[in-house]
Structures are given as C-alpha cells and as structure tokens.
Structure 1
C-alpha cells in the first residue's frame, strides 16, 4: 500500500510496508455503484485499513470495526450493524480521497485461524467545481451480508499475514570481522607486549585464548568489537573446541541471519601464530588453517592434529548478514 496513513489522529508521510498479500475489496455506494476500494494489510505490529475513493467520489465519513467473529461487530437485535458504535470513526472535512486506520496487533482479537472480520462503512460525496456537494451515498465494503433482511450492510475477512525476514543481496558493507572470545581465558591482542617495552606489540583487536588443557570449551564469537570492547560488538555465534591432548576438533556455528564467508584458525603452544619470517602475527591471512570462499554457510569445522600440552586458540571469522530486510 502506498498512501498517506494515520495513527492516533496524526498524518504520517511514510508508506506502511505490509507483509504477504493484502485483502482488497470494492467499496460499493448505494449497493451497486463502484465508489472505490478498501484495502487491508498488516506488518509485524499493525493492521492497516485503507478507504480509497475513486470514480469522482470523495470520503465524507468512514466507520470501521475489526473483530474475530461476525457476532462481535456491534449489531441490533435483528442483526443490523450499529455503525455509530464502531470502534473507529472519522468525519472528513474537507472530504478526502484516501484515509488509513492503523490498529496495533495487540488491540485485535483473532479466531483460531488468525483471521479477522472487517466491517467497513463510509459516506461518499461528489462535488461540483466549486467544492459544493451535489450527491452523497452510503457505502459498504463488499462481502457477506450481516442479515438477509433489512440492511444491506456487509463484512469481509482478512487473514493475518506472517512477516518473513530473509537475507537480501550482500554488499561490500555487509561483512564484519569477528573473533572468538574465551572470557577469562582470553587475552586481547592490544594487551600483548612480548618485548616488554611497555607498549602493545599489535594495533588490531581480537583475542587469543589459552592455555587450554584437554577438555571441551565453548567461546562466544563477537563481530565488530573494536579495541576488544564487547559493548561495541555483535554476538554472532559460538566456537566449540574439543581437545583430547593430541588433536582438537573446532566448530564455528553462527546465529541467523549471520553467515560465514571465511574462517581462519590458529591452534598451538605459542599464544599467537607466526608469519613467514617466524615472527608472531595476529593477521588472519597468515594463520596456518584457512577456509575461504565459504559462500555464506552457517557453520564450519576443523580437525587439527599433532598437538600436546596446553594449547592456545585464535579463531577469526569474516561474517556476512549485517544488511538484511523483510520481504525481499
């Protein structure tokens, strides 16, 4: 639906983006005249009901009631709807082309199939070139009649549409670097001073985790945690390490909607990997075990052999999935 919508009596310029399929019915004036449409849609939190006048008509009044059953719509003892008792009513002065009611999902009652009954009534007018009213009609949105006798008033149904969030196309800004954080076992790269000169040896964030005795460990994975500040990062998944004293099985597992593009792993007795010159390094591209071009999977694993004694683990990930949206 693309329209000016209303909530709490205030007009908003933005367009409600609805989920799934909207319900659209004809707005009939005097039972047979096509005077426009009524459109019902929802997002995750709200129901939107839009009256749209067409074919030379304008909205003078709108009345709306939404319930879980036909019987819950205000009616007389004979089954004719009592428009004056409808929950939502507006006098349009000046007459309007379109008008939308916004109703919070929390304020609605649903039947067992997540369906709603909508009773939409309007008064429409036609005007001359000077804005004077020259004709008016009572309208009902097309649907089933409340009663076979008396009023020709009608109602129709709308089933609440589920909102599904899926990954959209990834862009260059949709990835983040991430490292496993072992809590009390973790040392930030920025705090490592192996030459004891009082200054950190590295200028990038991340963690080495150790020393690990044989056993099973679960470490949290954080993306974008600049300067090792967890409050700046996103908790994107878990790293599991099982070490038996000779070999280690390591598993990366991310939470939806995050996915793996690359993984880089170092496991050894030293706290850091070594570069090609034998110097300690924190650069993931120089870690001894690498899986690249993973293509957006949710998990990855390694088995590293030839280990002994206490070990240290540095686990890096390139994470995608930071730009995603509903309805793609």
Structure 2
C-alpha cells in the first residue's frame, strides 16, 4: 500500500474523465476526503459527478459491487460509473447525489422526513442478496463476506493484531489516550455475550448509518453515501441511528414499522443491545484515537448504562 495521499491536478482529472467517460470535466473543485483519499467534484454534460483517488490499490472494487447492488434495487446510493488506475493510485468516478446532510436540519425538519427515512433504510437492509454470496463482515470485491461467522468477524475486528490500515497497533491507545482497558474489556465481554442473538441474521448493513451520511433536499431523502458495508444483523444500522432525531426513539420506530409489515423483529432487545455494543466499542476507540475525550466519555457512559442481563 502506498501511504501517501494522492496529489492530482485539475489537468490530470480532465484527461482521466475524457479517456474514461468521453466527457469534458468542468468546474473541478476539491471536496473533503478520507485519510488516504483525495476527492473532487466536477460537472460534465450538465450533470454533477465525483472522482476519488486512493493510495490503496483496488480500493474501489468492492464499492463498485456495493453501489451497483444498492442502485439496482432502488436504494438512492450513488452509482459507480468508472474505475481505473492513475499513476500509483486507483480512481473511482461516481454520480454526485444532490442535497445536504440530514444533520444540517433542525429536529422538527428531520422528524418530518421520518416516514420516508424509515422506508429507505428498511429497503436498504432488505436488499435481495446474490444467492451465491456468503460470509459475514466486510465484503470483498466479489460480494462475499470475508468471515465465516459473525463471531469470527467481531473477534477479528477488535483483535489486537491489526496488520495495516487505520487500526494498526490500536491497543497502544490504552496507554496513549483516554481509552480505558478495563472499560473496553467489560464492554467487549458484553458484546460477545449478546452476539449470539445477532449471529443468525445476515443482511446488508450500511454500518455508518448516521445523519452525516444521509442526504436530503429538505423535502425528501435524496441519497445515502459513504457505506462501510458489512453482512450482519440490520439492527446495527438501527442502533447507529439512535441520536438521529432528537426526542425520537428510533429503535422503537423501526420496531413498530416491522410489526406493521407483518415482520416483527425477534429478540429485539437483545439484538439491539448487541448492536449498540458493536458500534459503541468502535466509536470509543475512534474518539480516543482522535483525542475527542468528551465524545469518548459520553459513549462510554451510554454503553455502561445499558442493562446487561446475560
């Protein structure tokens, strides 16, 4: 892996878009990117697009599979239109979804979008998966989960031996940050205890389903972006939305919705608890790494306050 964030000029982007899509890129501007990616928006033939460059080889192959899976079944996720290599970097050209973050709206404006939001998320979690696909956890470019079981995935995800990437040597946070080992170990034990309720369920899970990754024009939900997709229990996405609309218990909203569909959620409380621990542990170590002590403390206290009946 090349660890240098891509440095690409507007002239290079014009050439890539012309060669890949046969279009003239205009109004090229830098957008916020990730740790190892550089992102630009551009306009071509009166439509808006995004092009991303990554220092990781084949970084966008899996996203292409995910984008096509979602878009083909009516989920408002930006389609991937082109993939390739430029110098030492991979690139991805995709549609640009109109709208702004749901997080930008006031609570009452978000609440007005709740019925459509529930429909969109339920549709995403209910995707018809390829009958040949298998596995749990993160997807590979062929659409298979990398792990044979849910427990194998979470043990690997929170394992100490992370060889590369964002979580390499993350256990050092126990001595270099606010991350408390005794608290983490307690929450991890609870996660493992409750994981037996999540383990039988295999759905498409966005895995970063929060208000900054849902776009709206203020009247409707226009798109979902930045999936960190896994195969697992859809209750993980429900748990991720717990603070999406102030004053609204999102989990109960989804519980009632599934009951109205004639598909009541079995083991609801236990699966929700397991999902909260799965997402909360990851949030704790992320906040610790970023130095966001206040967010860490809030998440820690929320997890420890969940009644543990196992």
TM range (shorter): under 0.3
Q: TM-score with structure 1 length normalisation?
A: 0.21
Greater fraction helix: 2
Q: Which of the pair has more CA radius of gyration?
A: 1
Greater fraction strand: 1
